[in-house]
Amino acid sequence: MAFWEARTTKKNNSAPTATHRAQELAASSGGVLRAACEQADLRGVRNVNAYAGKEAASFGEPSVMNTDLTDKTLEELEQTVLAFQQKKYLARYIFSFIHAKGVRQISQLSPLSKAFRRQLTEQGYYICQLNSVTTLEDPDGTVKYLFQLADGNRIEAVLLNESGRRTACVSTQVGCAMNCSFCATARVRLRRNLTAGEIVDQVNTIEQDRCRISNVVYMGMGEPLLNYDAVLKSVRILNHPDGKQIGVRHITVSTCGIAPAIRQLATEDIRPRLAISLNAPTDALRTRLMPVNAKYPLAALLQAVHSYQIRTRQRVTFEYVMIDGINDKSQHARALVERLRPVHCNVNLIEHNPHPGCKFVSSSVQRIGQFAEILTSAGVETTVRLRMGRKINAACGQLGADWRDG
C-alpha cells in the first residue's frame, strides 16, 4: 500500500544578478555544441540535438542562468573565490560543506567570514535546494520524489533500497524527446536540460531525507548523453574526494544509444559505468520501440560500445524490457545472443511496467525465465530484475506516468 507524504521545503528566492547571469552564460558555452565544434567525433552529438528537434539555445541550457554554488566544480569554486579576492583554499571548504556536510544555506558556510557570506548572497549566489513537492513510498522500500525546480519545472527521482545498496536514480532533463514507446517519460515534453547542480541536488535532497547514498544511476527522466556536459560534471562532483566520494564504479549512466556521445565518453578522464537501453535484437523492431535507432542503428551503437570497451575495459550492461508478444520470443533471444557475442556484457531482463496510455503488457515470469535460459546457456550473463517501486509508478519507464503534460 503506497502512501503520499506531502512536504514542502524552503524555496530559493535568490535572484542572480545580470552580471553573474552573463558570466554563467559565458561559462555555459562549454556545452555540448562547443564540444561538438572542438571535436569532430562529437559532431554526431550536435546532430542529435537536431534530431531531438530542438535548438540548443532553446532547450540545451536552463532558462535562468544560475549562480548556484552546487553547480560548480572545486576548480570553478576556486575561480569564484579568487574573483572576490578571497583565499583560494576557502573554495575547498565551500565544496565540502555543500557536498559532504549537506549545507544548504550560504549563511551556514561557517569557515567563510560574515562579510564574504554577505557578499556572496548580495551578488546572487546560492546553494541549490530543490523543492520536494511530494514523496511517495512503496512497501518494498522504494521512494519516489517529485521535485520542483526554481523555474517551476518538475522532475522525479527515485531512491531504491536493494541488497544493502542505497541507489539514487536521478533525472537529467525535464521531459524527454526520445519517444521510446514503452516509457511514460516519453509523454512528458522535453523542456530543458538540468544543470549539474540540479542533478547533484537530487542526491543531496534524498540523503537529507533518508540515508547516505551508495550508488547513483542516471536512469530517471531524460536522455543523459543529450545533456553531456552537465552529466559529466555532476559525476565529477559526486565522485570528488572532498564531496560524497561516490566511486565511479558505483555510478552508472544509461543511454538509449547516442553512439557519438558513447565514443566521446570513452575518452574522458572519468568514466562511469555504461548501461544501454537495448530492448530489441533487430533494427526493425528496435526502431519501432525506440525511434533513436533510426539515427543510430544497432551496428553503429555496438561499434561505439566496442570502442568504449577497448578504452575502458569495462563490462557494459544492456537493459532489455520484456514486452509480451513483442520482443520476448525465443527467436529474439537467439538473435540477441548473436548480436552481443562480441561484447563483454551482462543483460538485465526487466519486466515491462504498465502506465496509463501504454498498450504493452509485461511478458510472463515463465517467458522471462525461458528467455533468460536461452541467454545464459549461450554464455551471456543475465539477470532478471525485480520489480521495484511499481505500486508508486517509480519503476523503470514509469517516471512521469502520473503527469498530464501541458
| Closest distance to ligand SF4 from the beta carbon of 394 (Å) | 14
> CA nearest 112: which of 92, 136, 141?
92
Q: CB–CB of 244/101 below 8 Å? A: no
Q: Does 94 bind ligand SF4 (CB under 6 A)?
A: no
Task: Write down the least CB distance from residue 186 to ligand SF4, Å.
Answer: 4
**Nearer of residues 127 and 326 to ligand SF4, judged by Cβ:** 326
Q: How far is the CB of 127 from ligand SF4 (least distance, A)?
A: 28
Q: How far is the CB of 355 from ligand SF4 (least distance, A)?
A: 11
Per CB under 6 A, 277 contacts ligand SF4: yes
CB 258 within 8 A of CB 45: yes
Smallest distance from the beta carbon of 96 to ligand SF4, in angstroms? 33
Cβ–Cβ under 8 Å, residues 121 and 106: yes
What is the Cα–Cα distance from 268 to 256, expressed in whole angstroms? Answer: 20
**Grid cell locating 254:** 544509461
CA distance to 45, 259, 307, 395, per residue, from 295 (Å): 11, 9, 19, 27
Where do the H-state alpha helices sit in 29-99?
A: 32-38, 43-51, 56-59, 74-83, 90-99
By the rule CB under 6 A, 348 interacts with ligand SF4: no
Q: Which one among 48, 168, 178, 262 touches ligand SF4, defined by CB under 6 A?
A: 178
Cα(115)–Cα(120) distance, rounded to whole angstroms? 9
Q: Does 256 bind ligand SF4 (CB under 6 A)?
A: yes
- 3-state SS class at 13: coil
Using CB under 6 A, pick the residue from 159, 176, 203, 395 that binds ligand SF4.
176
Q: Is the dihedral of CA 274, 279, 283, 287 positive or negative?
A: negative
DSSP classification of residue 387: P
The nearer residue to ligand SF4, 95 or 182, going by C-beta atoms, is: 182
Nearer to ligand SF4, 81 or 347 (CB): 347
Shortest approach of ligand SF4 to residue 242 CB, angstroms? 32
Helices (H), 257-364: 259-266, 283-289, 292-295, 298-312, 330-340
Binding residue for ligand SF4 (CB under 6 A) from 68, 223, 319, 351? Answer: 223
**Dihedral angle computed from the Cα positions of residues 228, 234, 238 and 239, in that order, rounded to the nearest 10 degrees:** 40
Nearer of residues 78 and 223 to ligand SF4, judged by Cβ: 223
Amino acid letter at 128?
A: C
186 lines the binding site for ligand SF4 (CB under 6 A)? yes
Question: Please, what is the minimum distance in Å from the beta carbon of residue 257 to ligand SF4?
Answer: 9
Task: Indicate whether 278 belongs to the interface with ligand SF4 (CB under 6 A).
Answer: no
Given the rule CB under 6 A, which of 108-116, 176-184, 340-348, 360-368 is the region that contacts ligand SF4?
A: 176-184
Query: Which of 32, 33, 180, 199 lies at the binding interface for ligand SF4 (CB under 6 A)?
Result: 180
CB 200 within 8 A of CB 128: yes
CB 78 within 8 A of CB 211: no
Nearer to ligand SF4, 238 or 258 (CB): 258
Considering only the stretches 131-139, 174-182, 192-200, 334-342, report the one whose residues sit in contact with ligand SF4 under the rule CB under 6 A: 174-182
- Identify which range of 7-15, 40-48, 115-123, 175-183 contacts ligand SF4 by CB under 6 A: 175-183
CB 100 within 8 A of CB 242: yes
Considering the complex, state which of residue 74 and residue 226 has its C-beta at the smaller distance from ligand SF4.
Answer: 226
Q: What is the residue type of 298?
A: L
For residues 98 and 180, which CB has a smaller minimum distance to ligand SF4 in the complex?
180
Q: What is the DSSP letter of 68?
A: B
Which residues are part of the catalytic machinery?
A: 156, 396
Specify the residue, 179 or 314, whose C-beta has the smaller distance to ligand SF4: 179
Strand residues in 138-204 grouped as ranges (E):
143-148, 154-162, 165-169, 173-174, 192-193
Cβ 181 to ligand SF4, closest distance in Å? 9
Contact residues for ligand SF4 (CB under 6 A)? 176, 178-180, 183, 185-186, 221-223, 256, 277
